[in-house]
Structure 1
Amino acid sequence: MSVRQVTLHQLHIFTVLARHLSMSKAATELYQTPPALSLQIKRLSENLGISLYEQIGKKLFLTAAGELVAQAGTEIEERLERLLEELAAQQNLEQGQLRVCITSTAEYFAPRLLGAFCGQHPGVEAHLEIVNRVTLLQRLQRNEDDLYIMGQVPEDIDGVAHAFLDNPIVVVAAAAHPLVEQSDIPLRRLAAEPFILREAGSGTRLTAENFLAEHGIQLHARMTLSSNEAVKQLVAGGLGLGILPRHTLAAEAAAGDLCILDVEGFPILRKWHAVHRRGKHLSAISQRFLEFLLQSQPSE
């Protein structure tokens, strides 16, 4: 075993492979060919004197040693990033990388907040990922980003959640819908209406369904979609009611295409949360952005 011959480049390549568990996907991310990537990892394995992964059929699995090397590589890269930020801070500079991952529903406000933060800290190199809730939770589990912005936080999540912004959930209808003129609409009335809903697993849908289940109400899903924009368009077209975060409706409400219904128990009052892995050492830039979010005011 010759640890001295192990390079940071080899460790970085292996952490990427460990994340994807696919030689072709890792090669694509690293702008390399699979054979070139395989050669680098072979050299790393030879330098360490132990097998790091095994191929069974078309699937790649890390060995126990591979798991340890991948974890160590990730920790080394994170520590180097913190070192650069700490050195920059000593020189009164504000430099470093900030990796933020948000759910697709948060794209109506989170990019503006990130943009405002970067405007105040021009030396920050920000990376923003916009994904669905399932993918966000997977990225959180793999600790791929610094901070994650989501609505409903799972109780069993291995992370720390900081509430920072109101996230009221409302029922919406086309402007011509007969319920628009009614007030204090009973919850049971919703059971008689078709709904255009987000996909199963969506934070907004989970929040609404849990609330309605507590009152013995089950929604009739006429159509399920993976996009808030698509939901709004179909609701505006009169195909059913929708349940959406209020901050996603500013443009349609102003244009008169959609109306928020006065339904018993709504809006459901929830919060947006900034989440990071439990025990994660936040970089100076990440900590500053978290503090920036906690000072944010609701924006409709």
Structure 2
Amino acid sequence: MLHLTLRQLKVFERVAHHLSYSRAAKALYLSQPAVSMQIKQLEGNIGLPLFEQMGKQIYLTEAGNELYRYSRDILQRLSDLELALDELKGMERGKLNIAVVTTANYFAPHLLAKFCQRYNGVSVSLNVSNRVTILKLLAENAIDLAIMGLPPEDIDIVSESFMENPLVVVAPPNHPLCLEHNIQVKKLAKEIFLVREMGSGTRDAMERFFTEHKININKGMETDTTEAIKQAVQAGMGLAIMSQHTAELELETGRLKILDVQGFPILRHWHIVNRKNKRLSAVAHAFSEFLLKEAAALMRASKRND
């Protein structure tokens, strides 16, 4: 009889997925020696090697490939069982596993707090990552829902918009263009723009806009955080295009100014996204409905009260 534990199976699945003990350990919040020990015990129980090492890289053996295929199926079935049990518990003890792009993190916690106040038995797992990471999580069916600006086209998903997401040009308050109105887009060709990393939805929208206007912009600092861009704009390193939601505090305190540029704001929308045909828990379904029906009004009320 095959003797293995669920813990060993979960650890093996992560190592097989990443083909790395260190990355698996990080994903599981374990030490690398603990991960290695679990794999060693599992191989001892099975009686076959599951990985082979060539240089610094590890690879699945034939037995490893077989176990990886079955482990993914077993763990998915256990996840479905947990979901079915959560549905029987209703909204009192449900779990919500959600990921949001970094720019949405400026408003998502506020909405999650409102939702959890209504359903105080709900527990939330929130992953804040860049767009590329969230697309990977969606592709791997590792999350219930995602909040992002531009839904993917190469993954079979369901997407609904729940709130406007205006992109604006921001500048330090002492910038000469802050005194001008109805600024022609071609004037921006002389400016330096601080940009998000490749793959960012905001950067994609910015580049499409300037391509449509046949303008090559000068790109300065590139970073994967909106916070760094805001700080750099305030320091006078250049201009930036970002979601107005991410700069509300700086705009209200006068540390940043929105430039009155023709064609702006670029009006986009925030979307709630999940894999097509994914069985959503009662909590995930309720949160999706909550965003669609109430998010925009709640954010407007929050802004008035600030």
CA drift at 1:278 = 2.5
The reply on whether 1:292 has 2:290 as its aligned counterpart is yes
Is the partner of 1:167 in helix, strand or coil?
strand
- Return closer, same or farther for 1:27/1:230 CA change in 2, 3 Å cut-off: closer
1:186 is aligned, of 179, 184, 187, to: 184
The residue aligned with 2:226 is: 228
The residue aligned with 1:21 is: 19
Gaps of 5+ in 1: none
Judge conservation of contact 2:11–2:39 (CA < 8 Å) in 1: no
The reply on whether 1:282 has 2:280 as its aligned counterpart is yes
The residue aligned with 1:77 is: 78
- Return closer, same or farther for 1:148/1:256 CA change in 2, 3 Å cut-off: same
- Return closer, same or farther for 1:40/1:124 CA change in 2, 3 Å cut-off: farther
Which deviates the most, 264-273 or 177-186? 177-186
The residue aligned with 2:265 is: 267
Judge conservation of contact 2:197–2:222 (CA < 8 Å) in 1: yes
CA drift at 1:30 = 5.5
Which residue identity does 1:72 align to in structure 2? D
**Cα distance in 2, alignment partners of residues 274 and 52 from structure 1:** 39
- Return closer, same or farther for 1:155/1:86 CA change in 2, 3 Å cut-off: closer
**Cα distance in 2, alignment partners of residues 76 and 54 from structure 1:** 28
Give matches, 1:36-185, under 5 Å: 36-42=37-43, 45-46=46-47, 52-62=50-60, 63-89=64-90, 94-185=92-183
- Return closer, same or farther for 1:72/1:40 CA change in 2, 3 Å cut-off: farther
- TM-score, normalised via structure 2 length: 0.87
CA drift at 1:247 = 0.8
CA drift at 1:216 = 0.8
Q: Deviations over 1:53-90 (max 9, x none)?
A: 5444332334542342232133122112112212213x
Which deviates the most, 10-19 or 191-200? 10-19
**Cα distance in 2, alignment partners of residues 294 and 126 from structure 1:** 19
Is the partner of 1:77 in helix, strand or coil?
helix
Which residue identity does 2:71 align to in structure 1? A
Which residue identity does 2:83 align to in structure 1? R
Which deviates the most, 135-144 or 183-192? 135-144
- Return closer, same or farther for 1:31/1:178 CA change in 2, 3 Å cut-off: closer
- Return closer, same or farther for 1:168/1:249 CA change in 2, 3 Å cut-off: same
**Cα distance in 2, alignment partners of residues 141 and 56 from structure 1:** 29
CA drift at 1:142 = 1.9
Judge conservation of contact 1:52–1:65 (CA < 8 Å) in 2: no
- TM-score, normalised via structure 1 length: 0.88
Which residue identity does 2:240 align to in structure 1? G
Q: Deviations over 1:1-49 (max 9, x none)?
A: x46x554334333333333332344345263613421134325645xxx
Is the partner of 1:11 in helix, strand or coil?
helix
Is the partner of 2:296 in helix, strand or coil?
coil
Which residue identity does 1:108 align to in structure 2? Y
- Return closer, same or farther for 1:157/1:56 CA change in 2, 3 Å cut-off: same
- Return closer, same or farther for 1:74/1:164 CA change in 2, 3 Å cut-off: farther
Judge conservation of contact 1:173–1:235 (CA < 8 Å) in 2: yes
Which residue identity does 1:297 align to in structure 2? A
Judge conservation of contact 2:8–2:39 (CA < 8 Å) in 1: no
CA drift at 1:214 = 1.4
Is the partner of 2:182 in helix, strand or coil?
coil
The residue aligned with 1:31 is: 30
**Cα distance in 2, alignment partners of residues 34 and 67 from structure 1:** 16
The residue aligned with 2:238 is: 240
Judge conservation of contact 1:88–1:94 (CA < 8 Å) in 2: yes
**Cα distance in 1, alignment partners of residues 195 and 29 from structure 2:** 38
